Structure 1
């Protein structure tokens, strides 16, 4: 049996395989509200055959958006806009739908990537950003506002409120975004966090606020549904966050019953020097799994079925998450199942699509026609 297509349970969530569709920002919301694009985008990925679909980074407050086009879940309007998207998915797919909750911190108020991706000044329609310390992401940018005690409470309450809204929407799980240089990663990294209070300085102090956010989200979300965390395993900058720090953070999250660690890297500094290559981040997921025993998700240039099979089959990670590969080929899981001799779930409207030589790709199904 294919390891990639072995079932896995996360609390009450029964997943048919180990393929995860990564959260991928679409920058196509309006005032944080999902649009027809999200219906099309998430709808096609819901038919992918993957075990779990993670909705893109969803801001917990307007100031936490990366761009003005970011998806949000902070009020009744943003909640209502997601409801028909999820209803359409539920009508035609049984894929597990989870959501990544996020706050961009000092990387907020940016242009969309296809518009340059740079900071939007307040004078040009942007907004003041918030961070652990008043240190800009890039030299020459307007420094963010350092979060004071009231700000820390506000952001934590925003995460809690969004988690409760996600529960009302019937979301199957939550991933807390503590990676890619966004707010919680900023607290973790000494490159961005130079506070002198209980949230800065030592590793224990820098982990404190992200751990508080996780605890608050975990308490606000149904106990039978999983909550995971995405981390950046390394900043790829000397003097920054390291894999050893990540392992320590994962161990603390394990004590708090985290359900998975999604292991990515980088994002906190434009000075990062990343060595790219197929599966280049997999060793970090393996290191976290071996050191802590926590369920891990491997990401990063995982594009081929045999590559994904080897990662899961060798125990380097429990899941693989694909992003660009899924956009390029929304039926990636179908093709992986065909190559690995496994079966995959598909809607009956598509049953006739399986090639004759792969007549059992969708399991024991029959398609009759007069």
Structure 2
């Protein structure tokens, strides 16, 4: 399968640069897989498509202010660092720009020495392993010095950092937000629960591998980066009970989907589990865990649009995307949403 099968024309002005003031007022494109129909609603209408006994699965990861700007201690050259994930202790895998300036033993100072990093390992494509030294608590230092790592297609900084977090974010560790969850408010979640819909939480720390461009022509040759996931026993028991009772498991976002499908693939059902997943879902794929999906609109030729196409069918998805463009939907992280049932 060729990546050009997942290409579409997207006017640049449809790429959302800022979030809406009211999270729930974003638009919602509803795809019915059985009827192959498309409806245009708003996100606050989503409750009407959910049934008592269903379960929404939310990724409760929290985005780190993972972009740091510092200087090389020996030359004063400016350096940008993006934290990807914590290896152990104060050792982190990062991306560095410009990478050629950071060699083994290079030291970078941030915030006039509040945070210092030493390069202990070189990796491909600008990757480095840095060991940090500081006084106090690392996350507090990071909060004072770091910026939210917004995707490159967003040109403006967000004035309120919490607007790039879901209202249920809890577990620190992501390099990007699970953006399908940005549409929920606590009030909307309560309304959903009042209808008899269950809420379950899992964790997948979103790495940049999720958004890494597919650089090969053949989809099958693309390698996904691994991301850390975790499911508790309580959540596993809850989801198994929902399935046994005939309820639908509906993940919020592709990150939740990849976690659920990884666990169902590896264990045959939902089980308490944690580890690293590099699952790559593209057509054709036999879904073992989910019965629907809430997601945003994704980049052309991306692994994310491939996952959505595996669930709803490539032709139907590409028709829905064309209709979304024609109807002037807002795209990507701060954009509108799609519900597939």
Please indicate the TM-score interval, normalised by the length of the shorter structure. Answer: 0.3 to 0.5
* TM-score (normalizing by structure 2): 0.32
Instruction: Identify the structure with the greater strand proportion.
Output: 2
* TM-score (normalizing by structure 1): 0.30
Instruction: Identify the structure with the greater helix proportion.
Output: 1
**More relative contact order, 1 or 2 (CA 8 Å, 6+ apart):** 2
